[in-house]
């Protein structure tokens, strides 16, 4: 049994406190590991926050390695375009090129987004037999209409890319990076849901599907199973029993956003169901005395939140379902067509 675990994150300076909380949860719940090597792809993290992260790792006798974030769009020739004019950075694509970016002796990694809390020992997951596969993840709650517009096969399961177990040897052998480049080029550089869609499109049905307890995202917690299936018009998903088991006994909790939530767990005025758990692990970090993030929502977002809170839940979910499954899909189709046209 392998007792040396490699964990990968990427973070900016702003999100360093959130990353620190995630790290504390990893370290607290994995004392059985002889070694935990953490690789952090660094986007201008200040020396002050780096030193705090080093302090946290030293507290648990764990290793921390910072790697400067490359201009992944340029170095991997992805040709990505910010079609929505939102000023997106494409740093998250780094997780699709770890076979090139990490030291050669690193053969298996657990990639985690900074907003993931680990609540149990990861030994079973870390040592799972991947049977020649190169990546394992948890199915995301994606409506059927999206599978077609994003170019996914009939047998594919769209997985959340915030938590991925990766066999870097097989990833390299199967040339997944090249598949990602080809998918980006085929879509004119416009990829909705960014690297998550590129990840799914490159691997299609080759992704090993994990139990949802390994990535309990917020929608699982704040909606009943029936509400979630109806809202997202889910066909390729877990059973009700699987989701209920995951929510009851999660191994990893992904603090994702939702229109039904007022800010995320690290904000002062958050109503996230795992706010208390987040604060518990924050107390174990060098940021424990610092206040939570301020509410930066604009007036429009605050008004929408008030409407969502006031209207009956069935009405809110019905309206959201139409916006998500029809209007948004049509918008994506239009943007992809425009991107392909401009690329030719």
Give the model confidence (pLDDT) of 115-171 as tens digits: 999 999 999 999 999 999 999 999 999 999 999 999 999 999 999 999 999 999 999
**Mean pLDDT along residues 29-45:** 97
pLDDT at 3: 94
What's the confidence (pLDDT) of residue 160?
Answer: 98
Is 4-343 a domain of CATH 3.30.830.10? no
Q: What does pTM read for this prediction? A: 0.95
What is the mean predicted confidence (pLDDT) over 299-310?
A: 89
- pLDDT exceeds cutoff 80 at 256: yes
pLDDT at 338: 85
Q: What's residue 81's pLDDT?
A: 83
Percent of the chain with pLDDT over 70: 98
Three-state secondary structure along the chain?
CCCEEEEEEEEECCCHHHHHHHHHHHHHCCCCCCEEEEEEEEECCCHHHHHHHHHHHHHCCCEEEEEECCCHHHHCCCCCCCCCCCCCCCHHHHHHCHHHHCCCCCCEEEEECCCEEECCCCHHHHCCCCCCCCEEEEECCCCHHHHHHCCCCCCCCCEEEEEEEEEHHHHHHCCHHHHHHHHHHHCCCCCCCHHHHHHHHHHHHHCEECCHHHCEEHHHHHCCHHHHHHHHCCCCCCCHHHHHHHHHCCCEEECCCCCCCCCCCCECCCCCCCHHHHHHHHCCCCCCCCCCECCCCCHHHHHHHHHHHHCCHHHHHHHHHHHHHHHHHHHHHHHHHHHHHHHC
User: According to the model, what pLDDT value does residue 337 have?
Assistant: 86
Q: What is the pLDDT at residue 1?
A: 81
Confidence category of residue 56, pLDDT binned at 50, 70, 90: very high
Question: Domain limits of the chain?
Answer: 4-343
pLDDT, position 84: 55
Give pLDDT, residue 88: 56
pLDDT score of 288 = 96
* pLDDT at res. 339: 84
Lowest mean pLDDT, pick from 61-75, 153-167, 296-310 = 296-310
Once rounded to an integer, what is the mean pLDDT over residues 223-252? Answer: 97
Tokens of 280: 């518990």
Q: Which stretch of 15-29, 198-212, 260-274 has the lowest confidence by average pLDDT?
A: 260-274
Q: How confident is the model at residue 28 (pLDDT cuts 50, 70, 90)?
A: very high
Provide the mean pLDDT of the chain. Answer: 94
């Amino acid at each position: 049994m392998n007792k040396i675990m490699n964990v990968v994150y990427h973070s900016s300076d702003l999100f360093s406190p959130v990353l620190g909380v995630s790290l504390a949860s990893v370290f607290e719940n994995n004392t059985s590991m002889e070694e935990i090597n953490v690789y952090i792809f660094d986007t201008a993290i200040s020396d002050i926050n780096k030193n705090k992260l080093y302090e946290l790792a030293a507290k648990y006798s764990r290793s921390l390695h910072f790697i400067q974030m490359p201009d992944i769009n340029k170095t991997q020739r992805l040709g990505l375009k910010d079609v929505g004019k939102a000023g997106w950075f494409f740093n998250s694509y780094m997780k699709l090129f770890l076979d090139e970016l990490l030291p050669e002796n690193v053969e298996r990694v657990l990639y985690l987004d900074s907003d993931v809390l680990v609540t149990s020992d990861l030994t079973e997951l870390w040592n799972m037999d991947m049977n020649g596969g190169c990546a394992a993840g948890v199915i995301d709650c994606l409506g059927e209409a999206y599978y077609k517009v994003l170019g996914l096969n009939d047998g594919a399961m769209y997985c959340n890319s915030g938590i991925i177990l990766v066999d870097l040897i097989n990833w390299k052998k199967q040339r997944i990076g090249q598949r990602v480049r080809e998918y980006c080029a085929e879509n004119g550089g416009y990829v909705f849901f960014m690297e998550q869609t590129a990840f799914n499109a490159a691997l299609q049905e080759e992704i090993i599907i994990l139990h949802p307890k390994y990535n309990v995202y917020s929608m699982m917690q704040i909606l009943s199973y029936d509400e979630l299936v109806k809202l997202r018009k889910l066909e390729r998903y877990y059973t009700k029993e699987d989701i209920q088991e995951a929510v009851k006994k999660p191994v990893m909790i992904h603090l994702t956003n939702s229109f039904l939530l007022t800010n995320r767990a690290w904000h002062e005025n958050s109503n996230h169901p795992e706010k208390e758990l987040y604060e518990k692990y924050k107390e174990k970090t060098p940021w424990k005395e610092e206040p939570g993030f301020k509410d930066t929502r604009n007036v429009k977002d605050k008004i929408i939140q008030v409407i969502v809170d006031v209207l009956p839940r069935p009405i809110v979910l019905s309206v959201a379902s139409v916006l998500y499954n029809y209007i948004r899909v049509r918008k994506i189709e239009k943007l992809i067509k425009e991107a392909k046209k401009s690329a030719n």
